[in-house]
Structure 1
């Protein structure tokens, strides 16, 4: 498994509840760019329209040898999941404060996959608490490292 892109901002902005794996419907030049690690999912989000999942704002750079057959860099792409899973996601999203966000874009057995998550947005005080906790853990590690010398 080769990880192409991660959304590191997602764990800072959201509480992750459940993770799912979805395939992506891509064009030929898009998969070639993904294999060269030229993709970005930081600003991407997922919507459900007519019982189908779509990832919006996922940026895949142009393939340098693609000439006239190149793709739009940030077009809307369809995600591939079973209907039952999509219905579960849709029911959960209708609850207040939940969103579908992409976490990781990776290649597994030659196929591009997107790890998506049902997440609930954090408040600003939650974000501050998480940063304080992370800072404390780093200080503890630093002190332990110095005492072990």
Structure 2
């Protein structure tokens, strides 16, 4: 029986390692109110994959556009791989194609036609051996909205600490 438990724990650890976060855009959740998210694939070259697996991606200034019926990722910096020559390395800020179904792209296009909505990359993560990116449809927050969100977050934190104190 003990062996079965060890195998299950090892399998769970392997699944957790296979689904790990590579890069996160924490500022996006502060700047935008995320209305909907979508997980898509991303078209990468070999040195980009190696750099992302080493944690060398920055989503901070990134955004997505729909051009010619394709979903494109712009302004995301993936550092050149340190062990590759300049000839084989990639351009850090190149435009990358996102892989999504046609109906998903059409749905996003319909939402983006509304005023004030944008497509923002939220995180890059591994799903098994595949690198995926989560994008969100976001509405820009005004300064007073950011303050209200911070105040709400602070009050929830105080409630949690008070509850923990009395348990």
TM-score normalised over the length of structure 1: 0.93
CA root-mean-square deviation: 1.3
State the partner residue of 2:95.
Answer: 76
Q: For 1:47, what is the secondary structure of its paired residue?
A: strand
State the partner residue of 1:90.
Answer: 109
CA deviation map 1:47-102 (0-9, x unaligned): 11111111111111111111120011111111111111111111110111111111
Alignment equivalent of 2:139, drawn from 120, 143, 146: 120
TM-score normalised over the length of structure 2: 0.83
The structure with more helix, counted as a fraction of residues: 2
State the partner residue of 1:61.
Answer: 79
Offset of 1:140 from its aligned partner?
Answer: 2.7
State the partner residue of 1:134.
Answer: 153
What is the alpha-carbon distance in structure 2 between the residues aligned to residue 6 and residue 36 of structure 1? Answer: 14
State the partner residue of 2:47.
Answer: 29
**Stretch of structure 1 that moved more, 119-128 or 131-140:** 131-140
CA deviation map 1:14-54 (0-9, x unaligned): 11111111111101100011111111111110011111111
Higher Cα Rg, which structure: 2
Offset of 1:144 from its aligned partner?
Answer: 3.6
What is the alpha-carbon distance in structure 1 between the residues aligned to residue 110 and residue 132 of structure 2? Answer: 23
What is the alpha-carbon distance in structure 2 between the residues aligned to residue 50 and residue 145 of structure 1? Answer: 53
Q: For 2:83, what is the secondary structure of its paired residue?
A: coil
State the partner residue of 2:15.
Answer: none
State the partner residue of 1:13.
Answer: 31
What is the alpha-carbon distance in structure 1 between the residues aligned to residue 146 and residue 121 of structure 2? Answer: 19
Q: For 2:109, what is the secondary structure of its paired residue?
A: helix
